[in-house]
Amino acid sequence: QVQPVESGGGLVQAGESLRLSCTAPGSTFDGRAMGWFRKVIGKEREGFSCTTASGGRTFYSDSMKGRFTASRNNAEKMLYLQMNSLKPEDTAMYYCAPCVSLPGIIRPASDFHTWGQGTQVTVAS
């Protein structure tokens, strides 16, 4: 499998915004729900958004509702994450992957193993 490629991260001040992008090959992207995950040093990677294959609906973890908005462009095989009102605790490496939304949790698809390198978001206070 070819890895997804995440981009758009950077160093910002608290309260500022960033827009992350993810591109993935058709074998990973087409017809699949796609989600955003993040990993903080010392913690497990966690999923926080999962957008349906059509792009018509996105599920968010409770902690992410309101500040982050995920979207996708199926023609371009792109997944986006608009991040507003960033906080220092949002500092993490961000990844995209096919996802499954379950009650109370968002997980990567069980058949997905080829994580990209991610894009680093650092929020200064």
Please report where in the chains the tokens 């996105």 appear, as a residue: 58
At residue 115, the pLDDT reads 96
3-state secondary structure at position 26 = helix
Residue 4 has pLDDT above 90, yes or no: yes
SS3 content of the chain, % helix, strand, coil (to 5): 10, 50, 45
- Enumerate the β-bridge partners of residue 10: 121
Please write the tens of the pLDDT for every residue from 69-112.
Answer: 999 999 999 999 999 999 999 999 999 999 999 988 999 999 99
Q: How far apart are CA 12 and CA 21, in angstroms?
A: 17
Please write the tens of the pLDDT for every residue from 29-48.
Answer: 999 999 999 999 999 999 99
Residue 1 has pLDDT above 80, yes or no: no
